[in-house]
Amino acid sequence: MTRALRIIAANPLSLTGLILVLAIVLAALFAPWIAPFPTHNSAVVDFAYANSAPNGRNWMGTDLVGRDIFSRILYAYRISLGLGIVVLIIATPIGTIVGLLAGYLGGWTESVLMRLVDVFLSIPPLVLAIAVLGVLEPTLTNAMIAVTVMWWPWYARLVYSIARSEREEGYVLAAEVIGAPTTHIAFREILPNCLPAIITKMTLDMGFVIIIASSLSFLGLGVQPPTPDLGSMVAEGARYLPDSWWMTVFPGLAILFAVFGFNLLGDGLRDVLGADE
Amino acid sequence: MNKSLILAAALTAATALTSPAFAQTVLRVDEVAVGELDPAKASDYADSILMFNVYDTLVLPRQGGPGYDPHLAGSWEADGANYTFTLRDDVTFQSGNPLRAADVVYSLERMQEIGQGLSHLFTGVTAEAVDEHTVRFTLDEPYAPFVASLVRLPIVDQVLVAENATEDDPWAEGYLSGNAAGSGAYTVTSHNPQDVTVMALNEGYFLPINDAAPDQVRLRYSLEAATVRTLLSQGEHDIASQWLPPEVIRALAADGAQLFTESGTGAFYVKMNTQRAPLDDVNCRLALSHAFDYGTALQMVAINEEVSSGSAPTGAIPVGMYGSNPAEMALERDMDAARAYLEACPYDPADFNLEISWIAEVPLEERFALLMQANFAELGISSSIETLPWALFTERVASPENTPHISQIFVNAVTGDPDTLLFGMYHSSTPGTWQSPEYLADDQVDAALEAGRRGPGEEDREAAYAALNERLMELAPTIYGYDRQSVFAASDRVNAPALSDPAMAFGVDGMGFSFRLMEMTE
């Protein structure tokens, strides 16, 4: 653990990523205590302070109904991170199991599973998510489902490629010779060798999930008002550019920092885990 | 596709120039898609702009006052339910065909047969051509505002339309949705209903046109507010649509844009679907209409000290129209009354989950949606906000199950007469249009609406609409948000007396955009 920290700290970019991610996670966790206007995450209007530029009271200005943008960004991080975590927690095991089975068993299992994966991968991700949300109602839960549907095939692909090369390795053959059951070989022998790649990808993906979820809500398909969401804040503010720039710039920067942070951290983790091999 | 259209338009315009030494003046305006060019289907603001410029009508509203002046008609006589119009004999259509009484008869029948747009204004009207230039209208029953409604009867060129009709398309709807067949001051150079309509001055117009009137007009559809804001500041746009949010208009005015206004005698209406629980109960609706924060709504639409898009509402009928309440009786928020009505509402507020919709092209409505969400939350009512593009909204309202609980609509009297504001919204025979997402069906309302249009005297109409107003307040199918006028931010390249001088105003929505009356200053 300390060795991992040392490797990350040695690379200024990775360290920046770690700091950004920690800051965002803490901001999201403690939003109700940090936010100057914790009630502004819901259907509150305060027209006396509507559309004001950043000032001492509202550090990032207010939106058109007078809600504090800084407070809403903190709460929006909760939604974005929550969504990212849920999506990855669901998508990763599904993709991993599919990839492991296909990669280790081969034969018709491989053909069926991987062609199914190809079907999903052949549809542009945002289009797939929009289609799912078109059928379902646009809500937070359904946005999670939509993003999960488009995400698991990438894990299947990743794990499949690793499992395929690992199944020819000596330790797998040895396990087969002593008669270990298939599930043991797949999950206890091969899976641990896939984990570094999976964890790295999860960290990198956190940023991308946040972008996709924001894109969906930018299009009005994700989180619905009055719940704050970075994508819908950008969409709403874009109409008032360039005069009320703060409505777009700060939520946009918030997305940038999140994606940037998780990407840099992901790269750092790759160094850490790669060094383990 | 776009580029080639623009190129084609530019080429046509260029070849139309008689003397290349004169620079063409171009007026650039925008509105919300879809731009419906077929005059029989015209209903909203963009359609009206097209209709009033490409087509002509028998009469025009008198500028700066009540009443109607002859236009295509030279004169007319009324005799009970019969109206006889004598047409001018110097009018030719853009095709070169002369205007005849038969064209008027054909235009009316075409509109009635197609049955869309504002055809409901002409139910029970028949027309016959008495001679080449005389046309007689006969009404099944007396309709006091008949002459007013003629401002919504654009006259089409029967000969040209009939040439383009086919067996499957007897009224040439396909042709007229993309081509003009009118006598108006502007011809259509190109038309893409989602993108842009390019119009050019009709040199053969039957009335003299000011030399400064724009030679070409580009009407673009559904531009983003930020785009219009930037284009106007850079001098690349001339008149912004009225749908810009107040903040943007305010910012433009601060940058030196002039503000045009047009009162089409209308209002901002928050319409409740009376066919869906819980809003099928009058007490639930009354609770919402008392919880609405009228004062804040007015603050939201004020542009500056002098200009605002709204004034305080007093009831269902805008101040100044037949049957309206005096301006002192402004509606106000009353939370105690709202709570009392909610007590009497048979549904549990916790289960409400109202769908509050707003029209995607009108960002201001999003704020009203948030305002209502906050207002209703104070009563313990939860709601969700839904964004509907205009085209989708007009589709959804066709059935009561798909119509949102709450829709936000700006409605104007399309002819300036209260009948055309109220009949289409509240009569039980016209449900499921964009004007009537309430799906109201009430005998007393129907009776008052019918009495109002029957007239014949002004006093009869005043009494009928006063009764209607009272009944509509009791039933509360709608939250009467505010009385409204349209505000347009414009560059200083254009003068539009009909939009800036009350003495020149038409009092009919969209007619201020008669481009032939505008003046380009550079």
- Do residue B385 and residue A225 have CB atoms under 8 angstroms apart? yes
The DSSP result for A178-238, as a single string, is: TT--HHIIIIIIIHHHHHHHHHHHHHHHHHHHHHHHHHHHHTT-SSPTTS--HHHHHHHHH
A174 reaches B (C-beta below 8 A): no
Angle at B155 between CA B149 and CA B158, to 5 degrees: 145
B192 reaches A (C-beta below 8 A): no
Cβ atoms of residues A17 and A262 within 8 Å: yes
CA distance B402 to B396: 5
pTM for this prediction:
0.81
CA distance A122 to A127: 11
Nearest in space to B295 (alpha carbons), one of B382, B383, B375: B375
Q: Is the pLDDT of residue A136 over 90?
A: no
**Alpha-carbon distances of B198 from B3, B33, B190, B488, rounded to whole Å:** 13, 14, 5, 20
- Nearest Cα of chain A lies from the Cα of B201 at a distance, in angstroms, of 33
**What digits encode the pLDDT tens for the residues A153-199?**
999 999 999 999 998 899 999 999 999 998 899 899 999 989 999 99
Domains of chain B: 2-11+24-237+491-520 (3.40.190.10), 263-485 (3.10.105.10)
B248 reaches A (C-beta below 8 A): yes
**Alpha-carbon distances of B15 from A51, A218, B135, B178, rounded to whole Å:** 49, 45, 39, 21
- Do residue B229 and residue A226 have CB atoms under 8 angstroms apart? no
DSSP single-letter state for residue B415: T
Which of B294, B370, B371, B379 to mutate: most A Cβ within 10 Å?
Answer: B370
Which of B387, B388, B402 to mutate: most A Cβ within 10 Å?
Answer: B387
CA distance B289 to B270: 9
Taking contacts as CB-CB distances below 8 angstroms, the residues of chain A near B231 are none
Taking contacts as CB-CB distances below 8 angstroms, the residues of chain A near B356 are none
CA distance B198 to B126: 35
CA distance B507 to B69: 13
A220 to chain B: closest CA residue: B387
CA distance B23 to B215: 9
- Nearest Cα of chain A lies from the Cα of B247 at a distance, in angstroms, of 8
**What digits encode the pLDDT tens for the residues A13-72?**
999 999 999 999 999 999 999 999 998 987 788 888 989 999 999 999 999 889 999 999
Number of Cβ within 10 Å of residue A78's Cβ equals 17
- Nearest Cα of chain B lies from the Cα of A136 at a distance, in angstroms, of 14
**What digits encode the pLDDT tens for the residues A211-262?**
998 999 888 888 877 889 999 999 989 888 889 999 999 999 999 999 999 9
Interface predicted TM-score (ipTM): 0.74
At A128, the pLDDT band (50, 70, 90 cuts) reads confident
Fold that domain A2-276 belongs to in CATH: MetI-like fold (1.10.3720)
Nearest in space to B489 (alpha carbons), one of B258, B335, B299: B258
pLDDT score for B10:
52
Torsion of CA B180, B181, B187, B190, to 10 degrees: 20
- Do residue B226 and residue A241 have CB atoms under 8 angstroms apart? yes
| Per-residue tokens: B366 | 């999003």
pLDDT score for B457:
84
Question: Is residue A141 exposed (0-12), middle (13-18) or buried (19+ Cβ within 10 Å)?
Answer: exposed
Nearest in space to A244 (alpha carbons), one of B498, B499, B251, B359: B251
Average pLDDT over residues A2-7: 84
End-to-end Cα spacing for chain A: 15
| Per-residue tokens: B12 | 């046509």
A43 reaches B (C-beta below 8 A): yes
Query: Which long-range CB contacts under 8 A does A23-30 form with residues at least 24 apart?
Result: A23/A261, A24/A77, A24/A81, A24/A257, A24/A258, A24/A261, A25/A81, A27/A74, A27/A77, A28/A74, A28/A77, A28/A78, A28/A80, A28/A81, A29/A78
A45 reaches B (C-beta below 8 A): yes
Cβ atoms of residues B104 and B59 within 8 Å: no
Average pLDDT of each block of 10 consecutive residues along chain B (522 residues)?
Answer: 51 48 85 94 93 97 88 93 95 96 97 91 94 96 91 96 95 96 97 96 95 96 93 95 91 94 89 94 96 93 90 91 89 96 92 90 89 92 89 92 95 88 92 92 95 87 95 96 94 95 90 96 84
Which of A239, A241, A246, A248 to mutate: most B Cβ within 10 Å?
Answer: A239
pLDDT score for A275:
41
Q: For residue B166, give the H/E element and its range.
A: none
| Per-residue tokens: B165 | 């009709």
Name the residue facing B247 among A43, A45, A243 (closest C-beta): A243
DSSP single-letter state for residue B167: S
Cβ pairs bridging A and B (under 8 Å): 59
Cβ atoms of residues B120 and B432 within 8 Å: no
- Nearest Cα of chain B lies from the Cα of A87 at a distance, in angstroms, of 24
pLDDT score for B6:
55
B253 reaches A (C-beta below 8 A): no
Number of Cβ within 10 Å of residue B318's Cβ equals 25
**Alpha-carbon distances of B193 from B11, B33, B44, B110, B282, rounded to whole Å:** 20, 7, 13, 21, 40
- Do residue A244 and residue B371 have CB atoms under 8 angstroms apart? no
Which 2-21 residues of chain B touch chain A by CB within 8 A? none
